[in-house]
């Protein structure tokens, strides 16, 4: 969340940053109003506490001097002041809670380098790699749901029977391809990133730490009986690994990679973008995440982007990298690069990775701090993450792009070691 001290000390900068996002300033206005009231009330409460302490000392002195009547009168005055102090303290806590709730709902400030814009139409295309619309043959222009059904590797109909719409089921070689993609992404990142298998059910405060709650409560799956939430991404548990801990700057950056199932109440336009694997409620993803100092953040952002894009390139998928504008970056992000692959069967660019820098926004929510090497105080960490590989849309683009004239899927070289049992002449893969 935003630093309340920043709002106090440079309200104009905060207001300008929120305006770049197109945010209604009324929430900021309310925070400023409540903060002024809270500080005034706190000052009055603290003055009362000081007065009560003074009276307490006087009472003790009067009792020692055998002046009990005067001491009793002062005690009565102290009790009356104590009642006022308790009322002020309760109101102070109430105001602090209100302010925190508003701050939790306010978005991050966009980075200065983040391009301005009102929505996805204003995103900046940084580069396009391997895309030639005229190079795709007719056999590659078949949607993945048709390819999957024909080869027996994607069974949407039975998944819907089991779980409802926007759930899918991979079968045979299709399931093996999911596993292969995830293992490949893990193998490509464990050289530098510590592998973690976190829980997929987390507490409310863990979801709050990344900004998924309270703002996006309607998009999350909750187990109300246990007050647990199904994670929408491994970003959620990984960000909180060091919550409420104090790290040493010498141990930074910290890097993590995790393969998990992810759960989201995706909202798509019925019949438009919910077919096949375009939008699903449950999917597998490998996430890479880093915690670092502000000085390390830019290099970490570039590193995560390079790793995610490099894997897409090696899979032989046409893709592009977008610099998201202020009107399209996520609520918690300061700057985001999206990687989109081109899927010829559906003739669409599909987002497969959002590589984001969150500045200190998430770290404030999660109380992620570090001790500088000079030993002076503590500082707030910066968090960054991106999808090393998100299965559904990569799977879809791969099956469509690498479909052969005979209807099989030609598996890229780097995946072949993971799929040897399925590389048969008469099978769906070759």
Give the pLDDT of residue 270. Answer: 47
Which H or E element spans position 257?
Answer: strand 254-263
Give the pLDDT of residue 269. Answer: 44
Q: pTM, whole model, 2 decimals?
A: 0.93
Which H or E element spans position 38?
Answer: helix 26-64
pLDDT along the chain (430 residues), means of 10: 97 98 97 98 96 93 90 91 95 97 97 97 98 98 98 97 97 98 98 98 98 95 96 98 98 98 76 83 98 98 98 98 98 98 98 98 98 93 98 98 97 98 91
Give the pLDDT of residue 376. Answer: 86
**4-105: what fold?**
Helix Hairpins (1.10.287)
Strands 246-248 and 228-230: unpaired
Cβ contact 323:380 at 8 Å: no
Cα separation, 176 vs 154, whole angstroms: 11
194-196, strands of its sheet edge to edge: 124-129, 319-323, 335-343, 348-357, 382-390, 282-292, 254-263, 194-196
Give the pLDDT of residue 36. Answer: 98
CATH of 120-422, one of 3.30.930.10, 3.90.1150.10, 3.40.50.280, 3.40.50.150: 3.30.930.10
| Domain boundary assignment for the chain | 4-105, 120-422
Cα separation, 403 vs 19, whole angstroms: 46
Same fold? 4-105, 120-422 = no
Give the pLDDT of residue 41. Answer: 96
Give the pLDDT of residue 375. Answer: 80
């Amino acid at each position: 969340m935003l630093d309340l001290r920043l709002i106090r000390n440079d309200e104009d900068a905060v207001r300008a940053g929120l305006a770049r996002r197109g945010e209604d300033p009324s929430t900021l206005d309310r925070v400023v109003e409540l903060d002024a009231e809270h500080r005034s009330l706190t000052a009055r409460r603290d003055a009362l506490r000081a007065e009560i302490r003074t009276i307490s000392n006087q009472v003790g002195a009067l009792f020692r001097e055998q002046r009990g009547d005067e001491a009793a009168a002062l005690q009565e005055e102290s009790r009356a002041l104590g009642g006022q102090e308790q009322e002020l303290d309760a109101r102070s806590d109430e105001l602090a809670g209100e302010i925190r709730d508003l701050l939790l709902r306010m978005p991050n400030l966009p980075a200065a380098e983040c391009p301005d814009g009102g929505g996805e139409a204003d995103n900046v295309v940084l580069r396009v790699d391997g895309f030639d619309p005229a190079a795709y043959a007719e056999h590659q222009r078949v949607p993945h749901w048709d390819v999957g059904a024909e080869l027996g590797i994607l069974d949407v109909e039975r998944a819907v029977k089991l779980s409802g719409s926007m759930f899918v089921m991979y079968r045979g070689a299709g399931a093996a391809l999911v596993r292969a993609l995830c293992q490949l992404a893990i193998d490509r990142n464990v050289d530098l990133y510590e592998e973690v298998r976190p829980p997929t059910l987390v507490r409310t405060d863990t979801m709050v730490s990344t900004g998924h709650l309270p703002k996006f409560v309607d998009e999350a799956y909750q187990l109300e009986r246990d007050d647990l939430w199904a994670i929408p991404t491994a970003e959620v548990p990984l960000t909180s690994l060091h919550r409420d801990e104090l790290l040493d700057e010498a141990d930074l950056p910290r890097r993590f990679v995790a393969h998990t199932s992810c759960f989201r109440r995706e909202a798509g336009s019925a019949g438009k973008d919910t077919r096949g694997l375009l939008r699903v409620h449950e999917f597998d993803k490998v996430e890479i995440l880093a915690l670092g100092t502000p000085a390390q953040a830019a290099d970490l952002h570039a590193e995560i982007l390079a790793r995610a894009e490099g894997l897409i390139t090696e899979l032989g998928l046409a893709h592009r990298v977008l610099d998201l504008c202020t009107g399209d970056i996520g609520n918690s992000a300061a700057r985001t690069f999206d990687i989109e692959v081109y899927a010829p069967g559906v003739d669409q660019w599909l987002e497969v990775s959002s590589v984001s820098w969150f500045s200190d926004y998430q770290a404030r929510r999660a109380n992620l701090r570090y001790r500088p090497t000079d030993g002076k105080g503590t500082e707030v960490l910066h968090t960054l993450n991106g999808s090393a590989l998100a299965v559904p849309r990569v799977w879809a683009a791969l099956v469509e792009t690498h479909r052969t004239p005979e209807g099989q899927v030609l598996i890229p070289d780097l995946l072949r070691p993971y799929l040897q049992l399925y590389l048969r002449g008469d099978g769906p893969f070759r």
